Amino acid sequence: MKTEILPQESPRAEAFSLWMTSPMPMVTLVKTLNVSRLLKLSKKSGIKFTALMCWCIGRAASKIEEFYLLPEDGKLYRFDKMGINVIVANKQGGISSCDIPFSADLEQFNRDYLTLTEKAAQECKSSFLEDCMIIGTSAMIQTELDCIVNQYTEKFSNPMVMWGKYRKGFFKTVLPVSFQFHHVQMDGGHAAKFLEQLQGEFQYCGKES
């Protein structure tokens, strides 16, 4: 459910007054993460690496209260559910946007991921979950990237996690991850906490599912 709340009665009151009318309220943090275990689990389970990435993003974000808030059209909203958006290459050679409901159950999330992304690829249509707080993702795995800074648009103020191709080394596999967020939604400390928790989810991925 999506509910409008009064900014002045929320923990983001000061941030709302400072950044809601800013022409560039987006902030980007970049951190190189160890994805060795995630890659190992992907190969062992047959679950796509990107699906595991998205599940871990949802797990880490769901534990931080600020992720359930979203500034939009000069207002502040709170959600009680979360979803992960992925960009799908469709059969016409273009791309489609696909929202996937987040589930703490990895098997359920993976079933939804496979079903919905395949539907988007075949039907060449985007799908959206209007009642969920959506975290955007973009995986550009064609090449290794050091950093990604996304465009800012008033039509999309949701947090966004972006990455390129992972880098294999002798002892570990790493992946630089860019995280973009709206300053009304959270501060740098919340974003840094999210990236730390994301690394933790990579290390323990699947152990509790």
pLDDT at 151 (0 to 100)? 80
pLDDT exceeds cutoff 60 at 206? no
pLDDT at 84 (0 to 100)? 98
pLDDT at 209 (0 to 100)? 46
DSSP H or E segment with residue 71: strand 69-72
Sheet holding 75-79, edge to edge: 2-5, 75-79, 69-72
Tens digit of each residue's pLDDT (9 = 90 or more) over 85-141: 999 999 999 999 999 999 999 999 999 999 999 999 999 999 999 999 999 999 999
Q: What percent of the chain has pLDDT over 70?
A: 98
pLDDT-based confidence at 44, cuts 50/70/90? very high
CA distance 105 to 52: 12
pLDDT exceeds cutoff 80 at 167? yes
Structural domains of the chain sorted by starting position, each given as residue range(s) with its CATH number in brackets:
2-204 (3.30.559.10)
Tens digit of each residue's pLDDT (9 = 90 or more) over 10-27: 999 999 999 999 989 999
pLDDT at 40 (0 to 100)? 94
CA distance 194 to 10: 20
pLDDT-based confidence at 60, cuts 50/70/90? very high
- Which residue in this structure is represented by tokens 């190189």? 32
pLDDT at 153 (0 to 100)? 75
- Which residue in this structure is represented by tokens 């079903």? 115
pLDDT exceeds cutoff 70 at 208? no
pLDDT at 155 (0 to 100)? 76
List the one residue out of 137, 189, 187 whose CA is nearest residue 158. 137
